[in-house]
Chain A
Amino acid sequence: MRVKKIFLIIALAACLLFPVTARAEDKWQGTDDLVDRKMEELTGVAAREPLIDISQGNLGLFIFAAGGFAAGTLFGYQWRRIFGERRGEKNG
């Protein structure tokens, strides 16, 4: 179990820390974007803008912050309900 945990931590750390060594010129582009570009090259069809554009000003930040808060609260509440108490145990 301990070995598994250490392996998991190393794998996650590698994902977070090693990016500084990346060689790609245009760093951290998503594969989705690479495919979009390839498709545009082949067919001339470009990816469309989102229906609801959240890239203007701080709108994106607002939605992420509000959504993150709401989701985190709900997630934490449900997590505690399900995993917070072991079977047969009760909280005081």
Chain B
Amino acid sequence: MHIQDGFLVAKWAIGWYGAASVFVAKGVYDIAQRSKKILMFKPLLGLISAAVFFMSLLPIPVPILGTSSHPAGTPMAAILVGPFISTILGLVALLLQALFFAHGGLTTLGANVFSMGIVGSFAGYGIFRLGRKIGLSLWLAACLAGIIGDLAVYLTTTLELALGKPDIQGVSLAESFFGFLALFMPTQLPLALLEGLVTGGMVSYIAKVRPDILKTLGVLEGPDLEVNHNEG
């Protein structure tokens, strides 16, 4: 979701910028550090960056409902390159979309980075790590990360919108929150499932074709690669 210019009062617009800037600074530092250590990190970052831009702009039609929406892409990116670096990829995608496609705005960039970049990344990454810890397969852990990461993005956006214009025409925060949530969720639920399938599929594909990349990135641990090509 891209919040448009003018939809947040100044204090919230600035607040979200401030909150996002901490994560962005750490992301820039991480990119510099990891690029020095891992030779193929920059090409990989380019690929994932393009994927995040594409996924977060692509309007996917939802059957029956007749509406469309887009996935986030940041849960997948966070699994592969870490949540702080994924935040930077979200920032780049959102900035280009705000400048060229009227998706989001510059005053609301901080809020959009916070929801899609930070919450999407950390929710996805956290679920993936938790899933692996309790013994879920690589595909299932990544799939759940995609689903929950996607929904977390839209819940955060809903909260940002509800907070952004307090006490509009006597509408309470709760009414506003559930009003926006009712607009998002019917379309977003099936798309979250799709994002889960794509995230699980992508991570499993890399594990199958180049497991060494996942080991280098710290996605797979231990001397023995735990990839089961028949899992499913």
**Residues in chain A within 8 A of chain B (CB atoms):** 1-4, 7-8, 11-12, 14-16, 18-19, 21-32, 34-36, 38-39, 42-43, 45-52, 54, 63, 71, 74-75, 78-79, 81-83, 86-87
| With A36-B4, A74-B50, A82-B43 as contacts: A15 and B67 at CB distance below 8 Å | no
Cα–Cα, bound, A38→B178 (Å): 12
User: Do B47 and A82 have beta carbons less than 8 Å apart?
Assistant: yes
User: Do A14 and B63 have beta carbons less than 8 Å apart?
Assistant: yes
Sample (21) of A-B pairs whose CB atoms are under 8 Å apart: A1-B230, A1-B231, A11-B193, A18-B64, A19-B61, A24-B66, A24-B67, A31-B69, A31-B188, A35-B161, A35-B180, A42-B168, A42-B171, A43-B168, A45-B7, A48-B5, A49-B102, A50-B101, A51-B106, A78-B43, A81-B43
The B158-207 residues at the A interface (CB cut-off 8 A) are: 161, 165, 168-169, 171, 176, 179-180, 183-184, 187-188, 193-194, 197, 201, 206
Contact of B67 among A1, A29, A79, A81 (CB under 8 A): A29
Cα–Cα, bound, A19→B206 (Å): 31
Please encode chain B, from 67 to 85, with 1 for each CB lying within 8 Å of some chain A CB and 0 for all others.
1111000000000000000
**A79 contact set on B, CB distance < 8 A:** 47
User: Do A22 and B61 have beta carbons less than 8 Å apart?
Assistant: yes
The interface stretch among B16-24, B127-135, B145-153, B208-216 is B208-216
Nearest Cβ in chain A — how far from B185, in angstroms?
9
Instruction: Name 17 extra pairs, CB < 8 A, besides A24-B67, A71-B50.
Output: A1-B229, A4-B201, A15-B194, A23-B65, A28-B59, A28-B68, A31-B184, A32-B69, A34-B183, A42-B171, A45-B7, A48-B4, A48-B105, A52-B100, A75-B47, A75-B50, A87-B212
The interface size bin for chain B is 35 or more
Cα–Cα, bound, A81→B44 (Å): 9
**B193 contact set on A, CB distance < 8 A:** 11
Nearest Cβ in chain B — how far from A62, in angstroms?
12
Contact of B201 among A8, A22, A26, A36 (CB under 8 A): A8
Tell me if B122 counts as interface (CB < 8 A to partner A): no
User: Do A38 and B67 have beta carbons less than 8 Å apart?
Assistant: no
**B67 contact set on A, CB distance < 8 A:** 24, 28-31, 34
Cα–Cα, bound, A7→B198 (Å): 12
Task: Give the residue name and chain of the A residue nearest to B42 (CB).
Answer: A78
**B43 contact set on A, CB distance < 8 A:** 78, 81-82
Nearest Cβ in chain A — how far from B164, in angstroms?
9
Cα–Cα, bound, A43→B9 (Å): 11
Contact of B62 among A15, A48, A78, A81 (CB under 8 A): A15
